[in-house]
Amino acid sequence: MSMNGEYLRLTPAELKRALADAGWALELAEKAQDEQDEDDGGAGRWFSTGQTWNLLAFLLRRARFPVDLVFGEETLTEEDWGYGKPRYLTPERVRLAADALARTSYDRLVDGVDPAELTEAEVYPLIWDEPAALDWARDDFGSLVEYVRGAAADGDALVLWID
């Protein structure tokens, strides 16, 4: 079984409801995942970075990205949604992330990264035997940028978790 980075867009009113009823939010996430069209250009409610989540976390941390765009920043619930608690970003933090992503290219993120660093840091999954492995998350990063940009444009919050 693999570990995947998951995202759910919520309006501010939905975020308020999710904070009061995390079970409702989990049901919404599962429904959105079942209904998601992968070619929606980032406009969908649910999004996944698949197994690239840990590489993206490493690269964004290394670049001192101002928002935790992989794990979220505030706990939504103490319940486990897969591999830990879901966390969220407020609409304001989503806007900050979108603004910062507009100035962040994938090439900039991987510039100077030695695949041995990823192996040493035990970045999941451990596939860092060759430099070309760094391109593995390029498409997922581009899709994440579009997804966050769409959420920010609509004033949405994001719930994030590893499943």
**82-103 per-position pLDDT tens digit:** 999 999 999 999 999 999 999 9
pLDDT: which is higher, 10 or 129: 10
Q: Is the pLDDT of residue 147 over 60?
A: yes
**14-43 per-position pLDDT tens digit:** 999 999 999 999 999 999 988 875 555 556
Name the residue among 113, 144, 140 with its Cα closest to residue 128.
113
Q: Before 115, cis peptide (omega within 30)?
A: no
pLDDT at position 6 is: 97
Q: Is the pLDDT of residue 131 over 90?
A: no
Q: What percent of the chain has pLDDT over 90?
A: 86
Retrieve residue 111's tokens.
Answer: 């510039």
Residues 6+ apart with CB under 8 A from 1: none
**105-119 per-position pLDDT tens digit:** 999 999 999 999 999
Name the residue among 65, 84, 80, 64 with its Cα closest to residue 148.
65
Q: Is the pLDDT of residue 145 over 60?
A: yes
**49-75 per-position pLDDT tens digit:** 999 999 999 999 999 999 999 999 999
pTM (two decimals): 0.93
Residue 132: pLDDT band (50, 70, 90) is confident
Name the residue among 64, 66, 128 with its Cα closest to residue 93.
66
